[in-house]
Amino acid sequence: MRKWLLLVVIALMSMFVLAACGDDNDASTDEANDTEDSGETDGETYVVGATQIVEHPSLDEAYKGFQEALEDAGLNVEYDYQNAQNDQNNVKTISDNFAADDVDLIFANSTPSALGALNATSDIPILFTSVTDAVDAGLVESMDEPGDNITGVVDLHPDAIESTIDFIDENFEGATVGLIYNAGEANSVAQIDAVNEAAEGTSVKLSERTVSNSAEVQQAASTLAGDVDVFYIVTDNTVVSALDVVVGEANEQQIPLVVGETESLEKGGFMTFGINYHTIGYDTGEMAVEILTGEKTTADLPVEYPSEIQLFINKDAAEKQGVEWDDAWDEEAEFIE
């Protein structure tokens, strides 16, 4: 009888041990599932140093797109945002501070910002956008093989300037086109070179004025106004920051104002073959996700071009600047007010 009771006790104890092990296994399985469901971030917070050369509608949109991409990916990110106020000394200070703080990644939103970051660090990943020619600017060795710690998305579609000159040639045949730009901005010099190349073999003639700061834009526009039939302002940070004075001159003198991006249309430009800066910022943000999560390095990611361009027209500006309307534009263009 005692032996029988002992066997019963042993059996019951074995059942309790097995049940406890089962609970532990279930808990371990639940814990593993919870970890898997937590996504890529696993609770980690990344620090991104974000900088741009100046407050500018296009640059602002690119930064918003960049942030949106990281948010959509579910990453926890703290941003250290710095605006250089169009001052090269500030660019260096900002970049050096990012390097000293050892941020996880630098988002450089303009050519000067990207050059400053590249000079400050060879270790921290750098992603740029709002850069026109990354190779000529000295940011990357080539579009396909950018380098050890830098890559990004340029803001100039290969066909944008040529399409713009073709539009002027077709709709304002024989026009003299006035260009205003800061020769100290590598982006702008690359674009002006492309404008000159695109104008070869067309009826378009070019007249250039250079400025070193936004205060000089008014005089440059005024002196050009008597000699040109069309203004063409590329995506020059200095001139765009003072675009209102060019718009005023264009409206007063009835000179069509062609611009380099859609944000300048909203400020009074007539037309552009533009890209969406929010989109290229978002595309750069998708690169950042791959880098921060360790899926890829900057060396694995070729520099990208914008995916497409579109003819944009501001009808109100066209009227103020005395543009003769072409009905074909109703079908071809997207309109911005």
- Beta strands 150-154 and 126-131, pairing class: parallel
Domain count, the chain: 2
Could you tell me the end-to-end alpha-carbon distance of the chain, in angstroms, rounded to an integer? 98
Residue by residue, pLDDT tens for the chain (337 residues) are 444 444 444 444 444 444 444 444 443 334 333 333 323 456 799 999 999 999 988 899 999 999 999 999 999 999 999 999 999 999 999 999 999 999 999 999 999 999 999 999 999 999 999 998 899 899 999 999 998 999 999 998 989 999 999 999 999 999 999 999 999 998 899 999 999 999 999 999 999 999 999 999 999 999 999 999 999 999 999 999 999 999 999 999 999 999 998 889 999 999 999 888 899 999 999 999 999 999 999 999 999 999 888 899 999 999 999 999 999 999 999 898 7
Residue at 15 is within a domain: no
Q: For 146, what's the count of Cα atoms within 13 Å in the CB-facing half-sphere? A: 25
Is residue 317 located within the same domain as residue 207? yes
Residue at 261 is within a domain: yes
d(CA 302, CA 92): 26
d(CA 53, CA 91): 7
Is residue 177 located within the same domain as residue 145? no
d(CA 71, CA 289): 10
d(CA 300, CA 295): 10
Is residue 192 located within the same domain as residue 138? no
Nearest in space to 161 (alpha carbons), one of 130, 192, 131, 182: 192
Helix (H, G, I), strand (E, B) or coil at 50: strand
Contact 130, 150 (CB under 8 A): no
Is residue 233 located within the same domain as residue 324? yes
> What CATH number should be reported for the domain holding residue 126?
3.40.50.2300
Give residue 209's pLDDT: 98
Nearest in space to 53 (alpha carbons), one of 110, 114, 93: 110
Give residue 232's pLDDT: 98
- CA-only gyration radius of the chain, Å: 28
Give residue 2's pLDDT: 43
Is residue 166 located within the same domain as residue 139? no
Give residue 22's pLDDT: 44
> What is the residue range of 317's domain?
160-274+310-335
